Chains A and B, each alone.
Chain A
Amino acid sequence: MSAARDIRCVEFVELVTEWMEGALSDTERGGVEEHIAICPECTIYLAQLRETTMVLGRFDAQPPAEPARERLMAEFRRLHAQD
Protein backbone atom coordinates (compact mmCIF):
# COMPACT_ATOMS: atom_id res chain seq x y z
CA MET A 1 0.00 0.00 0.00
CA SER A 2 1.45 3.31 -1.08
CA ALA A 3 2.21 5.83 1.63
CA ALA A 4 2.16 8.62 -0.94
CA ARG A 5 -0.33 11.40 -0.40
CA ASP A 6 -3.13 11.83 -2.87
CA ILE A 7 -2.29 14.98 -4.77
CA ARG A 8 -4.68 16.84 -7.09
CA CYS A 9 -3.73 19.48 -9.65
CA VAL A 10 -4.61 22.37 -7.34
CA GLU A 11 -2.17 20.99 -4.74
CA PHE A 12 0.44 20.07 -7.32
CA VAL A 13 0.89 23.66 -8.50
CA GLU A 14 1.65 24.70 -4.90
CA LEU A 15 4.08 21.87 -4.18
CA VAL A 16 5.92 21.86 -7.48
CA THR A 17 8.70 24.32 -6.59
CA GLU A 18 9.52 22.48 -3.37
CA TRP A 19 9.62 19.27 -5.37
CA MET A 20 11.99 20.82 -7.92
CA GLU A 21 14.19 21.99 -5.02
CA GLY A 22 14.26 18.49 -3.53
CA ALA A 23 12.69 19.75 -0.32
CA LEU A 24 9.60 17.57 0.03
CA SER A 25 9.15 14.75 2.49
CA ASP A 26 9.26 11.25 1.01
CA THR A 27 5.48 10.98 1.30
CA GLU A 28 4.81 14.24 -0.50
CA ARG A 29 7.46 13.57 -3.10
CA GLY A 30 5.85 10.21 -3.87
CA GLY A 31 2.46 11.88 -4.23
CA VAL A 32 3.81 14.58 -6.55
CA GLU A 33 5.64 12.08 -8.74
CA GLU A 34 2.60 9.84 -8.98
CA HIS A 35 0.53 12.82 -9.98
CA ILE A 36 3.00 13.87 -12.68
CA ALA A 37 2.86 10.33 -14.04
CA ILE A 38 -0.91 10.36 -14.45
CA CYS A 39 -1.65 14.01 -15.25
CA PRO A 40 -0.68 15.37 -18.69
CA GLU A 41 -1.83 18.89 -17.81
CA CYS A 42 0.39 19.14 -14.75
CA THR A 43 3.20 17.66 -16.80
CA ILE A 44 2.75 20.62 -19.12
CA TYR A 45 2.65 23.00 -16.15
CA LEU A 46 5.94 21.60 -14.86
CA ALA A 47 7.49 21.99 -18.30
CA GLN A 48 6.31 25.59 -18.37
CA LEU A 49 7.99 26.34 -15.05
CA ARG A 50 11.22 24.90 -16.40
CA GLU A 51 10.83 26.87 -19.62
CA THR A 52 10.18 30.00 -17.56
CA THR A 53 13.48 29.49 -15.76
CA MET A 54 15.20 28.95 -19.09
CA VAL A 55 13.71 32.11 -20.60
CA LEU A 56 14.68 34.12 -17.52
CA GLY A 57 18.21 32.80 -17.84
CA ARG A 58 18.38 34.43 -21.25
CA PHE A 59 17.02 37.72 -20.02
CA ASP A 60 19.64 40.41 -19.63
CA ALA A 61 18.94 42.73 -16.75
CA GLN A 62 18.79 46.40 -17.66
CA PRO A 63 21.94 48.42 -16.96
CA PRO A 64 21.89 51.51 -14.74
CA ALA A 65 21.09 54.89 -16.30
CA GLU A 66 24.13 56.38 -18.02
CA PRO A 67 24.87 59.24 -15.56
CA ALA A 68 24.88 56.86 -12.59
CA ARG A 69 26.91 54.33 -14.51
CA GLU A 70 29.53 56.87 -15.54
CA ARG A 71 29.82 58.18 -11.98
CA LEU A 72 30.44 54.68 -10.63
CA MET A 73 32.91 53.83 -13.40
CA ALA A 74 34.76 57.08 -12.68
CA GLU A 75 35.00 56.13 -9.01
CA PHE A 76 36.34 52.72 -9.94
CA ARG A 77 38.93 54.30 -12.25
CA ARG A 78 39.92 56.84 -9.62
CA LEU A 79 40.47 54.23 -6.95
CA HIS A 80 42.61 52.15 -9.23
CA ALA A 81 44.62 55.10 -10.41
CA GLN A 82 45.68 55.55 -6.80
CA ASP A 83 47.33 52.11 -6.63
Chain B
Amino acid sequence: MGYGGRTMVEGTASELASDSEADLLERLRLGDEAAFGFLLDRYHRPMVRLARSHVSTDAAADDVVQETWMAVVRGIERFEGRSSVKTWLFRILVNRAKSRGVKESRSVPFSSLDDDSGWTVDPDRFLDDSHRWGGYWSAPPVSWRDAPELNALNSEIRQSIGRALDDLPAMQQAVVTLRDVHGLDAAEVCVALDVSEANQRVLLHRGRSRMRTVLESEFLESGLVS
Protein backbone atom coordinates (compact mmCIF):
# COMPACT_ATOMS: atom_id res chain seq x y z
CA MET B 1 0.00 0.00 0.00
CA GLY B 2 1.61 3.26 -1.11
CA TYR B 3 1.67 6.34 1.04
CA GLY B 4 3.48 8.58 -1.42
CA GLY B 5 0.68 11.04 -2.00
CA ARG B 6 -0.19 13.82 0.44
CA THR B 7 -3.89 13.24 -0.16
CA MET B 8 -3.76 9.87 1.54
CA VAL B 9 -2.49 11.43 4.74
CA GLU B 10 -4.96 14.32 4.55
CA GLY B 11 -7.79 11.91 3.99
CA THR B 12 -7.07 10.01 7.15
CA ALA B 13 -6.10 13.05 9.20
CA SER B 14 -9.56 13.67 10.61
CA GLU B 15 -9.85 10.00 11.42
CA LEU B 16 -6.50 10.12 13.20
CA ALA B 17 -7.44 13.31 15.02
CA SER B 18 -10.35 11.53 16.64
CA ASP B 19 -8.36 8.36 17.33
CA SER B 20 -7.71 7.66 20.94
CA GLU B 21 -4.16 7.91 22.24
CA ALA B 22 -4.05 4.13 22.46
CA ASP B 23 -5.08 3.77 18.80
CA LEU B 24 -2.46 6.26 17.65
CA LEU B 25 0.23 4.51 19.64
CA GLU B 26 -0.82 1.14 18.29
CA ARG B 27 -0.76 2.41 14.72
CA LEU B 28 2.70 3.88 15.23
CA ARG B 29 3.99 0.61 16.65
CA LEU B 30 2.61 -1.24 13.65
CA GLY B 31 4.51 1.09 11.34
CA ASP B 32 1.42 2.90 10.06
CA GLU B 33 2.88 5.69 7.94
CA ALA B 34 -0.30 7.73 7.98
CA ALA B 35 -0.11 7.86 11.77
CA PHE B 36 3.51 9.00 11.69
CA GLY B 37 2.72 11.50 8.94
CA PHE B 38 -0.10 12.84 11.06
CA LEU B 39 2.32 13.53 13.93
CA LEU B 40 4.88 15.06 11.59
CA ASP B 41 2.39 17.39 9.98
CA ARG B 42 0.95 18.57 13.26
CA TYR B 43 4.01 19.05 15.42
CA HIS B 44 7.06 19.53 13.24
CA ARG B 45 6.92 23.32 12.87
CA PRO B 46 6.16 24.11 16.51
CA MET B 47 9.02 21.76 17.39
CA VAL B 48 11.44 23.62 15.11
CA ARG B 49 10.44 26.93 16.63
CA LEU B 50 10.87 25.64 20.17
CA ALA B 51 14.22 24.00 19.40
CA ARG B 52 15.43 27.24 17.78
CA SER B 53 14.90 29.14 21.01
CA HIS B 54 17.42 26.87 22.77
CA VAL B 55 20.18 26.76 20.15
CA SER B 56 22.22 29.22 18.09
CA THR B 57 21.37 28.39 14.49
CA ASP B 58 18.52 27.20 12.27
CA ALA B 59 20.65 24.22 11.27
CA ALA B 60 21.13 23.21 14.90
CA ALA B 61 17.37 23.47 15.47
CA ASP B 62 16.71 21.28 12.43
CA ASP B 63 19.22 18.73 13.76
CA VAL B 64 17.56 18.66 17.16
CA VAL B 65 14.13 18.12 15.62
CA GLN B 66 15.44 15.43 13.27
CA GLU B 67 17.07 13.64 16.23
CA THR B 68 13.85 13.91 18.17
CA TRP B 69 11.82 12.27 15.41
CA MET B 70 14.41 9.51 15.15
CA ALA B 71 14.27 8.97 18.90
CA VAL B 72 10.49 8.75 18.65
CA VAL B 73 10.60 6.28 15.76
CA ARG B 74 13.12 4.08 17.58
CA GLY B 75 11.56 4.48 21.00
CA ILE B 76 7.93 3.85 20.15
CA GLU B 77 8.20 0.15 20.95
CA ARG B 78 9.39 0.79 24.47
CA PHE B 79 7.17 3.80 25.11
CA GLU B 80 4.85 2.79 27.89
CA GLY B 81 2.11 5.31 27.21
CA ARG B 82 2.05 6.75 30.72
CA SER B 83 1.93 10.20 29.16
CA SER B 84 0.43 11.02 25.79
CA VAL B 85 2.54 10.63 22.66
CA LYS B 86 2.57 14.37 22.13
CA THR B 87 3.72 15.09 25.69
CA TRP B 88 6.49 12.53 25.26
CA LEU B 89 7.47 14.04 21.91
CA PHE B 90 7.92 17.52 23.35
CA ARG B 91 9.72 16.22 26.40
CA ILE B 92 12.34 14.53 24.20
CA LEU B 93 12.62 17.66 22.10
CA VAL B 94 13.15 20.01 25.03
CA ASN B 95 15.74 17.68 26.61
CA ARG B 96 17.69 17.40 23.36
CA ALA B 97 17.46 21.09 22.62
CA LYS B 98 18.72 21.99 26.07
CA SER B 99 21.65 19.55 25.79
CA ARG B 100 22.54 20.94 22.42
CA GLY B 101 22.31 24.46 23.79
CA VAL B 102 24.63 23.58 26.64
CA LYS B 103 27.14 21.99 24.21
CA GLU B 104 27.07 25.13 22.15
CA SER B 105 27.69 27.10 25.35
CA ARG B 106 25.00 29.56 24.63
CA SER B 107 26.06 32.60 26.61
CA VAL B 108 22.53 33.81 27.24
CA PRO B 109 20.86 31.61 29.85
CA PHE B 110 17.55 30.32 28.63
CA SER B 111 14.63 31.76 30.48
CA SER B 112 11.39 29.89 30.20
CA LEU B 113 9.41 33.07 30.60
CA ASP B 114 11.13 34.98 27.80
CA ASP B 115 11.21 38.72 27.40
CA ASP B 116 7.98 40.51 26.89
CA SER B 117 6.53 43.96 27.14
CA GLY B 118 4.41 43.02 30.13
CA TRP B 119 1.00 44.24 29.13
CA THR B 120 -1.44 42.25 27.10
CA VAL B 121 -3.88 44.98 26.11
CA ASP B 122 -2.67 48.41 25.01
CA PRO B 123 -2.87 50.62 28.11
CA ASP B 124 -4.26 53.40 25.89
CA ARG B 125 -7.48 51.46 25.67
CA PHE B 126 -8.23 52.22 29.32
CA LEU B 127 -9.02 55.51 31.00
CA ASP B 128 -6.10 56.73 33.04
CA ASP B 129 -6.22 57.19 36.78
CA SER B 130 -6.85 60.91 36.62
CA HIS B 131 -10.26 60.07 35.24
CA ARG B 132 -13.20 59.30 37.53
CA TRP B 133 -13.56 55.94 35.80
CA GLY B 134 -9.82 55.33 35.67
CA GLY B 135 -8.99 51.76 34.77
CA TYR B 136 -12.18 51.20 32.79
CA TRP B 137 -12.29 50.78 29.02
CA SER B 138 -11.98 53.89 26.87
CA ALA B 139 -11.83 51.81 23.68
CA PRO B 140 -13.78 48.69 24.58
CA PRO B 141 -13.81 45.45 22.57
CA VAL B 142 -16.72 44.93 20.18
CA SER B 143 -18.49 41.59 20.02
CA TRP B 144 -17.39 39.15 17.32
CA ARG B 145 -20.57 37.18 17.58
CA ASP B 146 -21.64 37.98 14.02
CA ALA B 147 -18.30 37.32 12.37
CA PRO B 148 -18.71 34.36 9.99
CA GLU B 149 -15.01 33.59 10.36
CA LEU B 150 -15.70 32.27 13.81
CA ASN B 151 -17.20 29.24 12.16
CA ALA B 152 -15.10 28.80 9.04
CA LEU B 153 -11.54 30.01 8.75
CA ASN B 154 -10.84 31.55 5.36
CA SER B 155 -7.32 31.37 3.97
CA GLU B 156 -6.55 35.00 4.87
CA ILE B 157 -7.34 34.48 8.53
CA ARG B 158 -5.42 31.22 8.46
CA GLN B 159 -2.36 33.01 7.14
CA SER B 160 -2.67 35.76 9.74
CA ILE B 161 -2.93 33.21 12.51
CA GLY B 162 0.06 31.30 11.17
CA ARG B 163 2.16 34.46 10.99
CA ALA B 164 1.05 35.63 14.40
CA LEU B 165 1.88 32.28 16.00
CA ASP B 166 5.31 32.37 14.36
CA ASP B 167 5.86 35.86 15.73
CA LEU B 168 5.11 34.90 19.32
CA PRO B 169 8.14 34.47 21.56
CA ALA B 170 9.09 30.79 21.42
CA MET B 171 7.76 29.59 24.74
CA GLN B 172 4.49 31.50 24.34
CA GLN B 173 4.11 29.90 20.93
CA ALA B 174 4.80 26.48 22.38
CA VAL B 175 2.21 26.85 25.14
CA VAL B 176 -0.51 28.37 22.94
CA THR B 177 0.12 25.74 20.26
CA LEU B 178 -0.03 22.82 22.66
CA ARG B 179 -2.96 24.16 24.73
CA ASP B 180 -5.18 25.91 22.23
CA VAL B 181 -4.26 24.45 18.83
CA HIS B 182 -3.67 20.88 19.97
CA GLY B 183 -5.80 20.70 23.10
CA LEU B 184 -3.27 19.30 25.55
CA ASP B 185 -4.22 20.06 29.14
CA ALA B 186 -2.21 22.25 31.50
CA ALA B 187 -0.52 19.34 33.30
CA GLU B 188 0.56 17.71 30.03
CA VAL B 189 2.03 20.98 28.78
CA CYS B 190 4.00 21.50 32.01
CA VAL B 191 5.53 18.03 31.61
CA ALA B 192 6.15 18.42 27.89
CA LEU B 193 7.84 21.80 28.16
CA ASP B 194 9.34 21.34 31.63
CA VAL B 195 7.80 24.49 33.03
CA SER B 196 6.04 25.13 36.32
CA GLU B 197 2.26 25.52 36.42
CA ALA B 198 2.62 29.19 37.26
CA ASN B 199 4.98 29.85 34.34
CA GLN B 200 2.75 27.91 32.00
CA ARG B 201 -0.19 30.14 32.96
CA VAL B 202 1.81 33.33 32.40
CA LEU B 203 2.95 32.11 28.97
CA LEU B 204 -0.58 31.07 28.05
CA HIS B 205 -1.91 34.42 29.21
CA ARG B 206 0.54 36.45 27.17
CA GLY B 207 0.37 34.27 24.07
CA ARG B 208 -3.37 33.86 23.98
CA SER B 209 -3.97 37.56 24.69
CA ARG B 210 -1.72 38.43 21.79
CA MET B 211 -3.62 36.10 19.51
CA ARG B 212 -6.87 37.75 20.56
CA THR B 213 -5.41 41.12 19.57
CA VAL B 214 -4.42 39.71 16.19
CA LEU B 215 -7.88 38.33 15.54
CA GLU B 216 -9.44 41.60 16.67
CA SER B 217 -7.35 43.50 14.09
CA GLU B 218 -8.27 40.99 11.42
CA PHE B 219 -11.98 41.27 12.11
CA LEU B 220 -11.90 45.06 12.30
CA GLU B 221 -9.80 45.44 9.14
CA SER B 222 -11.97 43.21 7.06
CA GLY B 223 -15.06 45.06 8.27
CA LEU B 224 -16.56 41.90 9.70
CA VAL B 225 -17.42 43.70 12.85
CA SER B 226 -17.94 47.43 13.14
Binds A, one of B52-60, B66-74, B96-104, B108-116: B66-74
A63: which B residues are within 8 A, CB to CB?
Answer: 40-41, 44-45
Q: Are B208 and A49 in contact (CB under 8 A)?
A: yes
Chain B, 120-132, contact with A by CB distance < 8 Å: what is the 0/1 string?
1101001000000
B69: which A residues are within 8 A, CB to CB?
Answer: 72, 75
Most buried by B among A11, A14, A52, A59: A52
The A-contacting residues of B in range 191-212, CB under 8 angstroms, are: 197, 201, 204-205, 208-209, 211-212
For the complex, what is the distance from the CA of A46 to the CA of B36, rounded to whole Å? 37
Asked if B21 is at the interface of the complex by the 8 Å CB criterion, the answer is no
Nearest chain A residue, comparing its CB with the CB of B140: A41
Nearest chain A residue, comparing its CB with the CB of B69: A72
* A contact patch SS: helix
Q: A49-B208, A52-B211, A75-B73 are in contact. Are A17 and B201 (CB under 8 A)?
A: yes
Q: Are B209 and A13 in contact (CB under 8 A)?
A: yes
Nearest chain B residue, comparing its CB with the CB of A45: B141
Q: Are A57 and B183 in contact (CB under 8 A)?
A: yes
For the complex, what is the distance from the CA of A36 to the CA of B137, rounded to whole Å? 13
Q: Are B142 and A58 in contact (CB under 8 A)?
A: no
For the complex, what is the distance from the CA of A23 to the CA of B204, rounded to whole Å? 13
Q: Are A73 and B40 in contact (CB under 8 A)?
A: yes
Q: Are B33 and A77 in contact (CB under 8 A)?
A: yes
Q: Are A41 and B208 in contact (CB under 8 A)?
A: no
Interface residues in chain A, defined as those with a beta carbon under 8 Å from any beta carbon in chain B: 8-11, 13-14, 16-18, 21, 23, 39, 41-42, 44-45, 47-49, 51-64, 68-69, 72-73, 75-77, 79-80, 83
Interface residues in chain B, defined as those with a beta carbon under 8 Å from any beta carbon in chain A: 3, 31, 33, 36-37, 40-46, 48, 62, 66, 69-70, 73-74, 119-121, 123, 126, 134-137, 140-145, 149-150, 153, 157-158, 161-162, 165, 176-177, 180-183, 186, 197, 201, 204-205, 208-209, 211-212, 215-216
